[in-house]
Structure 1
Amino acid sequence: MDLRQLTIFRAVATMLSFTKAAVSLNYVQSNVTTQIQALENNLGVPLFDRLGGKQVVLTDAGRQLLQYAEQLLDLAEEAQAAVSLGEEPQGTLRIGAAESLCIYRLPSLLRSFRTRYPRVKIVFRPSPVAELRNLVHSGSIDVAFVFEELDREGGPGDEILAIEPVWVVAAPDHPLVGNEVVVPSDFTGVDLLLTESGCCYRGHFERILSRANVYPKTILEFNSIEAVKQCVISGLGVTLLSSVSVSSEITSGQLVKLPWEGPDLSVVTHLVWHKDKWLSPSLAAFLTHAREMLTIK
């Protein structure tokens, strides 16, 4: 078992595709297959279940090995960077973030960082909000951008970057649009469209309604912000989303920001990394760049 095999294994395990892994590593697929077979023979266990066609899934042994492979490859990169401290930051950074940040906040940050540090390879991993901190702590990603409620403080490896307003919105012809103010009791019998479970502002809003003994008519859950927006635009109900994700639809008149008068729904963007890991030059450079680009407003 060597680092090259582990690199190939990690690529296949992450993409669950020999073909995609080969393309990402610039290898021929037969080489990827041969290296995985050699690794399986060396360990004496199958690492992937081949389900027919090109579909593969990790076995239990594969999932266990992936955790160690991540750690070993991280250490190898750290060792290489440690003896090249005088050079420009290089290596691989694995970044995770919530969907709205992926789409609306991070593209410009990642573009400017790549221009500034072209030798750093960025691997971006959109992930469910509830999983991001665990992915950092397990070493699966190096850094994450996480939405949290306003009262959550930062700490070592957990830095507050920016406050993000959250707005309650509806289609222009929704009955609540005519209200001078909108309060929790107005949601009785209303169709509510929400993002995935685990989203901090969804949880905060549901607790507000629960404390007020308010029960919407229906709650429809989506794992895509774009799907939520399109359904609300079509008149299926009301939602709450971060301001950056609905500002263009409000400007165009497709959605209307309701005059919410209740507890503050804003969230805070946290920058999270593993406080006990060695801070490589590439990660240190990225943290500094993120602070410059995403500051509290």
Structure 2
Amino acid sequence: MIILEIRQLKTFMSIVKLGSFSQTAQLLGYTQSTVTTHIQLLEKEFNTVFFERFGHQLMLTTDGERLYEYAEQITKLSEAAKNELDHFDIPKGSLILGIPESVCMYYLTDVLKEYVSLYPDVELKLRLGIGSDFRNLLRKNVMDVAFFLEKKVKDRDFISEFLWAEPIVMVAAPNHPLTKLKRVKVQDLTGQILVFTDSISHYQTVLEEYLEKSSITPRTILEIGQIYTIKQFVKSQLGITILPLAAVKTEIEAGELVALSWQGIDLDTNTYIVHHKDKWLSLPIRAFIKLVRERLVE
């Protein structure tokens, strides 16, 4: 008698979509050994092998392809049954969110805390990144909802809702030479050290393209993984950076950082909440979007 667990099937489907055990573990919030165990249990139940490797490429076997077809149907029926039997009263299930670090830290912390408190039966999973990271995951249906920091979301297969305007500021340490200028122009960035995030944000891309178009060459560009570390570098005069105002507002008000009077290309952006147009909006998804609107949208 074959006994299937829905979570094992969901793990299997995520591996197929992402092509990686490690990325699946990161997305679903499991250890890699847990992901491996899920697949081993499935293979033991069916007495077959679902994946094989050709070099670094992970490939489905013929039995894996057959299981995937059934897995899609089983998981969809499971979600439908769960919502029908729960009478749509209380959100249950899982919710996978993609959020830029600045949005998560400076806007969503209280919202996420409230959501977890209101809906303890929802398994909430977060992935930090940027819109370009999330697009593929939304299209593969391994991420439910994402926040984009972009001027405008133009993808025709996404439904996006504008949330708020996001000012972007260029900041430096108080005693940095650029703080003495009434206006900072693109040519003033010649020979400067720029400190950016290691994931290329929309506003960072805009600035880099503008520098290239203007034939301006910085001294170097440092790529740092976390906003906190970037701010510490800038405070120590190891360069200047551009970040959402929300991420540096406290330091500016405390006099630890100074917002430069940037006169170059417009770097300001917007925050959107996005999902795929074909995504079925489960109760956990709708409850989250509703809470975001109530708490963050004026």
Both proteins in one fold, TM over 0.5? yes
CA distance in 2, matches of 1:71, 1:189: 57
* Cα deviation code 1:71-103 (max 9, x no counterpart): 853552243113433422222111111111222
Matched, 1:17 2:20: no
Moved more, 196-205 or 79-88: 79-88
In structure 2, do the counterparts of structure 1 residues 6 and 186 end up closer, same or farther at CA, with 3 Å as the change threshold? same
* Cα deviation code 1:167-218 (max 9, x no counterpart): 0001111110101111111111111111224310100111222232222121
What residue number does 2:241 align with?
239
Give the residue type in structure 1 aligned to 2:91: P
CA distance in 2, matches of 1:47, 1:16: 19
What residue number does 2:262 align with?
260
The counterpart of 2:186, out of the listed 177, 184, 189, is: 184
SS of match in other structure, 1:44: coil
* Cα deviation code 1:199-256 (max 9, x no counterpart): 1010011122223222212111222222221111111111100111111222222211
CA distance in 2, matches of 1:163, 1:84: 38
In structure 2, do the counterparts of structure 1 residues 61 and 224 end up closer, same or farther at CA, with 3 Å as the change threshold? farther
- Contact 2:130–2:148 (CA under 8 A) maintained in structure 1: no
CA distance in 2, matches of 1:74, 1:168: 47
CA distance in 1, matches of 2:68, 2:225: 26
SS of match in other structure, 2:41: helix
CA distance in 1, matches of 2:174, 2:198: 24
Q: How does 1:89-238 map to 2 (within 5 A)?
A: 89-149=91-151, 151-152=152-153, 157-238=159-240
SS of match in other structure, 1:202: helix
SS of match in other structure, 1:158: strand
Give the residue type in structure 2 aligned to 1:39: L
- Contact 2:95–2:124 (CA under 8 A) maintained in structure 1: yes
What residue number does 1:45 align with?
49
CA distance in 2, matches of 1:188, 1:234: 20
- Contact 2:111–2:295 (CA under 8 A) maintained in structure 1: yes
In structure 2, do the counterparts of structure 1 residues 274 and 152 end up closer, same or farther at CA, with 3 Å as the change threshold? closer
Give the residue type in structure 2 aligned to 1:201: Y
In structure 2, do the counterparts of structure 1 residues 187 and 266 end up closer, same or farther at CA, with 3 Å as the change threshold? same
Gapped regions of structure 1 (runs ≥ 5)? 22-31, 50-56
In structure 2, do the counterparts of structure 1 residues 79 and 245 end up closer, same or farther at CA, with 3 Å as the change threshold? same
Give the residue type in structure 2 aligned to 1:17: Q
* Cα deviation code 1:121-167 (max 9, x no counterpart): 21122234421121111111110111112x44587521111111110
Give runs of ≥4 in structure 1 deviating > 6 Å: 64-68
SS of match in other structure, 1:144: strand
CA distance in 2, matches of 1:171, 1:75: 56
SS of match in other structure, 1:133: helix
CA distance in 2, matches of 1:144, 1:240: 22
User: How far off is 1:43 after superposition?
Assistant: 6.3
CA distance in 1, matches of 2:181, 2:73: 55
What residue number does 2:18 align with?
none
- Contact 1:168–1:241 (CA under 8 A) maintained in structure 2: yes
Gapped regions of structure 2 (runs ≥ 5)? 16-20
In structure 2, do the counterparts of structure 1 residues 289 and 75 end up closer, same or farther at CA, with 3 Å as the change threshold? farther
CA distance in 1, matches of 2:106, 2:141: 26
SS of match in other structure, 1:136: helix
- Contact 2:95–2:285 (CA under 8 A) maintained in structure 1: yes
Moved more, 40-49 or 138-147: 40-49
Identity %: 36
In structure 2, do the counterparts of structure 1 residues 73 and 191 end up closer, same or farther at CA, with 3 Å as the change threshold? same
